Amino acid sequence: MTASRVGAPDPGLVEVLAGARTIALNFWNADEFDIYDCLRRSWYVREMPIALAAVLRATRRAVPGGDLYAVNDAEGCTAQRIAEVFNVAIAKVLQAQRKSGTQVAGAAKSVPFTGGGGR
């Protein structure tokens, strides 16, 4: 599966990011369940609707310098801060969608909690 670099964002991208946000609020821990674990879990339980590389790219665009571990491992980082990274990533994806004049299906709907099975 190859992620497109141009055109409208894939609808699965917003759903994976929204799911990662929910997972972060419930499970994030800098040492045992980091930002990448949140992304991978959300991506997996949604049956991998888009290339994981596209999900990582979108998330890296949400932080200065694109270093997710720098955010994850920052002194005093909280689950809320990690969730905010996903909020920013979602906003950037939706902004790109508006600029392209297309709609991302499911972008406005609520995404149920799907933390998946045990870690």
pLDDT tens for 11-35 read 899 999 999 999 999 999 999 999 9
- Looking at residue 112, its pLDDT comes to 53
Phi then psi for residue 33, to 5 deg, are -150, 80
Say which residue the tokens 């409208």 belong to.
Answer: 8
pLDDT tens over the chain, length 119 residues: 444 445 566 789 999 999 999 999 999 999 999 999 999 999 999 999 999 999 999 999 999 999 999 999 999 999 999 999 999 999 999 999 888 876 544 444 444 555 555 54
Phi, psi of 115 (to 5 degrees): -70, -15
CA distance 55 to 3: 9
The pLDDT of residue 109: 43
